[in-house]
Chain A
């Protein structure tokens, strides 16, 4: 990220959302809304003096609420740009009677409470979507008691506990009493491969991150009892199966079965699970449960899909143009996908797809020209009655109303030649090149004529015969 932010040809815009995208391949106009940071990022040295004096405390999003942060903060230590930002809803404000302590503490005087949100247009030739994913909300599955029992964690929370830079400095403790857990249970496929929650897909990364977390746990606490309940272990990547074997040899027990319920009895958590290899229901008494939560599309992906006119696949991730042959393209030319925006995937796969997307974008821009299909719609301007029926039907917004001439026009770069509009035009003003009504009628006539005769001619011939 630091490399990207320092690259002379890359302009990095943080705190920004796409409001509107217009245009077409090579000529997109993207309207971006950039939220005010209230700190001049070019001046801020991230010294942290402002945070030291801030009296406000809120759950830290980066540590998933396991620690607190102030109202003026750096989202996480390696955040790019290395500058603080202020949450204006949580800040007490700068009125003399309110607070404004950070303003006084900042040596560089780079905090500006009057900064405004910016909306700006960018002219771009290609767009790469790498909007990532969110994790499944485990509170949806009430049977696991997440949110009810403090020692039932998600894998992401456990990851923060393991991290040396995390809220406990890498010390794995129970949230309820701060004691080290002696028995930890990992549960696979929470919110993935589960039709009941609407996520039929496999999230692909969970098996491996759970195996990794079990390994970390065994590494930090060799005496702890670690059990992992799985439906299937999908260790499909390079070196993954070997790692799985190694973790099993380290003493992590893998048991096949999806827990049905987690409840508390005499201060301990009980995981009830049908061990499908033993063929019996067991109750596993434990101190801590880690839910291996699956991946879901990122928040706001629907709005983004609407802004870019992209399609979503049935799993709600962005749909690629072709699952095998065009996995980084979308149905909109000049828009490419990378990473979990297209579907759950791990880091190597994301890097591979991101390089593919970047190369596609560069290849497109370097040529300076695009090839378009000759099969496009044409409008007979004399026949167009400007009823606008076609406009709403076009999935590519290729039909644009010419307010000067009062006729519809076709943007031949956006038009993909599906032919929905010519068959809807009540005036017959639209023709689809190579699939005109005349051509199709001629095909029909040729296919249906018996010995070159039409139905009428045949009828006449039959009468004559009679």
Chain B
């Protein structure tokens, strides 16, 4: 069987990731040709609608590259991207798109190798996931609802949950990788926002 060749759309900010990609190119580094890069001035320009449109129009994965936290050319655009992508990843699950198909990466202008490695790893991941099948009915919508309403078992008791609790849970399939859906309205970013940003 021929190897699946995914189509990947990349959004790269002009100052860090795009320059990093440029460096990867001028340094003759190799990475899969599946990535098609779109330049934006700042990762903060990436409207979640662009990502959804990319998936709709046939992308199997979307790669986003911004500046490292604290390095944004526009002070704090990448923090906004981080929040938006986090929210969108949670929404994607509800739309029947695996959240692993969307990746946010920080690549600086000097990190050509890191860019090449990240793209290679992401392409491999999408290759394993296979083509995005959007035509399948979004069967997740019924499954997500009980999960949202069900009280978190850990909050009820400190002891081990009853044995049947696991089996009573609906089979969420690929949704298991998604963090607790209830927390996505507000979340502390993974990194510390420096003062003055």
Quick check: B57 and A419 within 8 Å, CB to CB?
no
Contacts of A396 in B (CB 8 A): 75
Nearest residue (CB) in B for A331 is: B75
Complex contact A418–B53 (CB within 8 A)? no
Complexed CA–CA distance, A435 and B74 (Å): 16
**A residues 325-369 touching B (CB-CB < 8 Å):** 331
In the assembled complex, A104 has its CB within 8 A of some CB on chain B: no
**Does A445 reach chain B (CB closer than 8 Å)?**
yes
- Partner pick for B57 among A395, A423, A444, CB 8 A cutoff: A444
Per-residue A-contact encoding for B34-47, CB less than 8 Å = 1, 0 else:
00101011101111
Does A441 interact with chain B (Cβ within 8 Å)?
Answer: yes
Q: Flag if B57 contacts A455 (CB, 8 Å).
A: yes
Partner-binding segment picked from B116-124, B140-148, B189-197: B189-197
Alpha-carbon distance between A305 and B196 when the two chains are bound, in angstroms: 7
Interchain CB contact under 8 A, A312 and B195: yes
- Contacts A437-B47, A440-B40, A444-B9; is A310 near B196 (CB within 8 Å)? yes
- Asked if A181 is at the interface (CB within 8 A of a chain B CB), the reply is no
**Contact (Cβ within 8 A) B9 A418:** no
B135 interface hit (Cβ, 8 Å): yes
Cβ contact within 8 Å between B80 and A448: no
Q: Is there a chain A Cβ closer than 8 Å to B4's Cβ? A: no
Contact status A311-B59, CB under 8 Å: no
B76 at interface (Cβ–Cβ under 8 A)? Answer: yes
Name B97-151 residues within 8 Å CB distance of A: 134-135
Q: Are A444 and B41 in contact (CB under 8 A)?
A: no
Partner of B58, one of A302, A311, A417, A455: A455
State whether the Cβ of A393 lies closer than 8 Å to any Cβ in chain B. yes
A306 touching B47 by the CB < 8 A rule?
Answer: no
A459 close to B (CB within 8 Å): yes
Rounded to whole Å, the gap between the CB of A434 and the closest CB of chain B is 8
Give Cα A432 to B135, complex, Å.
Answer: 33
**Complexed CA–CA distance, A375 and B77 (Å):** 16
In whole angstroms, what is the CA distance A14 to B85 when docked?
49
Among A430-466, those with CB < 8 Å from B are 432, 435, 437, 440-441, 443-445, 447-450, 454-455, 458-459
Structural contact, A432 and B41, CB atoms closer than 8 A? yes
In the complex, the answer to whether A312 meets B47 with C-beta atoms within 8 Å is no
Least CB distance, B45 to chain A, in whole angstroms: 3
Residue in contact with B45 in the complex, picked from A305, A311, A319, A420, CB distance below 8 Å:
A420
Cβ < 8 Å to A, chain B residues 21-80: 36, 38, 40-42, 44-50, 53-54, 56-59, 70, 73-77, 80
Contacts of B84 in A (CB 8 A): 423
Given A418-B77, A455-B57, decide whether A435 and B41 contact each other with a Cβ distance below 8 A. yes
CB-CB nearest in chain B for A434: B41
Q: Given A302-B196, A455-B134, 19 other A-B contacts at CB below 8 A? A: A310-B196, A395-B74, A418-B41, A418-B42, A419-B40, A419-B45, A420-B42, A420-B45, A420-B74, A423-B44, A424-B80, A435-B41, A444-B57, A447-B9, A448-B7, A448-B36, A448-B57, A454-B58, A459-B135
Task: Give B contacts to A, CB under 8 Å.
Answer: 7, 9, 36, 38, 40-42, 44-50, 53-54, 56-59, 70, 73-77, 80, 84, 134-135, 194-197
Q: List 17 A-B contacts (CB under 8 A).
A: A311-B197, A395-B75, A419-B42, A419-B44, A420-B74, A422-B45, A422-B47, A423-B44, A423-B45, A435-B40, A437-B50, A440-B38, A441-B50, A444-B50, A448-B9, A449-B58, A455-B134
Which 10 residue pairs are nearest across A and B when measured between Cβ atoms? A419-B45, A418-B74, A420-B44, A423-B47, A395-B75, A418-B42, A312-B196, A447-B36, A448-B57, A448-B58
